[in-house]
């Protein structure tokens, strides 16, 4: 039986893996949001911090927080290989809010090295992304 949608595979360095038939995927790339449907042309792009919205063949949708990596599309499947991929319903909002507050406090400190500032900015961006994705999906 032919697939109604297409195969989506999501992999992260910590071993998290998702494999599912989907109808569409909306992913934030460094060039902007890209919508992927069945029979999409071959495509590769770098993923930015943002929301991934997955629509399943039955019409249900699931949002996720995705950070850094790439998306690859070919005739048989779409692959997302991301540093972090977290479904909205798995995000610990309180933890994300604490991370945001901690990063903001760190950035308010004086005398940070360039590396310390860059790390705090990255942590703040990740926390804000998790909070945004959680709020968009609840």
Condensed to tens digits (0 to 9), the pLDDT of residues 34-66 reads 999 999 999 999 998 899 999 999 999 999 999
pTM beyond 0.75:
yes
Percent of the chain as helix, strand, coil, to the nearest 5: 30, 45, 25
Average pLDDT value over all residues in the chain: 92
Query: pLDDT, tens digit, for every residue of 105-130?
Result: 999 998 999 999 999 999 999 999 99
User: Given a cut of 90, is residue 72 above it in pLDDT?
Assistant: yes
- 19 bridge partner residues: 9
> Which domains are assigned to the chain?
6-89 (2.60.15.10), 91-136 (1.20.5)
For residues 23-42, one letter each, b for 16 or more C-beta atoms within 10 angstroms of the residue's C-beta and e for the rest, the string is bbbbbbbeeeebebeeebee
């Amino acid at each position: 039986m032919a697939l109604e949608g297409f195969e989506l595979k999501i992999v992260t360095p910590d071993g998290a893996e998702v494999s599912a038939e989907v109808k569409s995927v909306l992913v934030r790339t460094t060039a902007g949001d890209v919508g992927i449907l069945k029979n999409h042309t071959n495509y590769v792009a770098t993923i930015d911090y943002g929301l991934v919205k997955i629509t399943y063949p039955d019409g249900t949708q699931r949002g996720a927080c995705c950070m850094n990596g790439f998306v690859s599309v070919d005739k048989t499947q779409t692959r997302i290989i991301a540093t972090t991929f977290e479904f909205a319903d798995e995000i610990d909002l309180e933890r994300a809010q604490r991370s945001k507050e901690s990063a903001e406090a760190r950035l308010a400190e004086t005398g940070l090295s360039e590396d310390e500032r860059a790390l705090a900015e990255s942590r703040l961006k990740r926390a804000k992304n998790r909070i945004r994705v959680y709020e968009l999906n609840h």
